[in-house]
Structure 1
Amino acid sequence: MRTISLPRGRQRLHAMPTSTGYEVREDEIYDWDGRRRGQTPFTVLQHTISGTGRLRYENRNYRLQKNDTLLVLVPHNHRYWLAEDERWEYFWISMNGEEALRIHKSILSVSGPVFRLQPATIDHLADCSLRLIKGAASPGAASAVAYEAAMALYDDVFGSHAFAEKQSAMQPVIDHINANLDGPLPVADLVQISGLSRAHFSRCFAESEGLPPAEFVLQQRLQRAAKLLTKADFLPVKEVAI
C-alpha cells in the first residue's frame, strides 16, 4: 500500500490535492459514507485496477469492476465499500478547490458516478498520483498536478472523441425529429429510439446538441417555420404553424 495525505496550505488554490495513493484491500473493513466525512467539500476519483468494489449512489447500486472509474463529491448521499470475501485494487486522487469541484460536478452531471476512461487517460491519472506520492516541491506544484489530473479527466469526458460518440449516438434521434416535425414528438418516444435510460438520454442529448430534447424540438420547428416564411410570398397559416 502506498498513500499520502497532503497538508492544506493557507492559500485557497483552485485545485489542491488532499490525498492520493494505491491500495489493495482484502479481508478487511473498508467503508466510506459520503455523509460522514465532514462538511468541507472535496472530491474522490478512484480507478479500479482489479477486483470488485461496491457503490451505493443515492438510490442506485453499482458493482465496480476492472477499468471502472468512480467519482464522488463529499458531502453527499453515497457509500462505497469492500464487500465480504472480495478484493479491491485501486488508486485514487482526492482534491478540493473551487475549480476542481466545478469540473468534477460538470462531469458527474453528464457521466454519473461510474464511467470508463481511455487507457491513455488512466495512465495519465496514475502518473499524476505517483508524482504527488513522490512529493511535490510546493503547494503550487501540488496544485498544478491536481489541476492537470482534473483536466485530463475533463478532456476524456468532454473531448473530441467523447463528443463524436455522443453525436453519433444521437443521430437516429435527430433524424426522427427532423422527419416528424409536423407531428407529436414526446420525449418518451425519443428515449425509446435512443435505447438509453431517460436520465442518461437527457444528459447525452443536451451535451451533444446543446439543448434539452424538448427545447431542441421547439427550436427545429421554429427554424422550419422561418424557412417556410422566407421561401414563399404567401402560405396558409396552417402550413407554417408549429
Structure 2
Amino acid sequence: CRCLLEDESALLKHECAYCLGQIQDTHAIPVLNRVLANTDEHPMVRHEAAEALGAIGAHQSLDVLKKYLSDGNKSVSETCLLAIQRIEYLLNKTKDLITDGSSVPFKSVDPVPPLRCDESDISKLDRYRDRFPEFTLLSREFRHEVAYVLGQMQNPSTVTQLAANLADFDENEMVRHECAEALGAIATNDAQQELNKYIKDSQRVVRESVEVALDMSDYNNSEEFQYANALK
C-alpha cells in the first residue's frame, strides 16, 4: 500500500491498485479511499482505485464512491458508477439479469459481472445496456476496457486498430496505455514494431507502458515458464 501512496510512477500505482482489487482484501479500503479522494493524483490511478473498491465489493464503499459520481474527470466518475453498480449487484443478487460468475472459467475480478449472451437473453442484454447508458463508443472508460479485452484475447487481427489508437496523440493516455499493453500481450512482430515507435513518447504513462509491453512481448516469444522470474 505504501507504493500506492508514495511512488512517482502513475503506471506502477495504477497496477498496485489493480492488484489490491483482485485480491479483494478489505484492509486496503482506507488506502484506496485516500487515493480516490486525492484530486491531485493522476486520473488513471484514481480510476483504478475506484475500480478496486468495486472489485472488493464492500457495502461501506458505496458512500465514498457516490461522492465522486460527478467528479470533474470523466474516467473517475464513470468508474465510480460501474463500481457502485457492481457492489449493489453483489448486495442485491439480481441474478435474473446477470450470472453469479460461478460457471465462468476466468478467475479475474471484473468491473461488472458476466452477462449471459445466448439468444434467449437478448431482452436481458437490452436491460443491461439501459443500466449503463453512459458507456458509449465515445467513452474513454469503454475504449480502455475494450483495449484490455483485446489484449487478453491476443488476436493478431486487432493489432491495426490498437496501433491506430496508440498513435492518436489526441486519445486519452489511459486508453493509449491499455493499447500499448494489449500490443505487448499479442506480441507479434507487427505489434513490436508499433510499440518501438513510442519508446520516447511525451506522456510518461504511455512511455512506461510501452517499456513494459516490449518486455512482455519478449517473454511471450521466449521459452521462459514464468514472466519476470526472480529466482534466476
State the structure with more CA Rg.
1
**When the two structures are superposed, what TM-score results if normalisation uses the length of structure 1?**
0.25
* Greater strand proportion: 1
Which has more helix, going by share of residues?
2
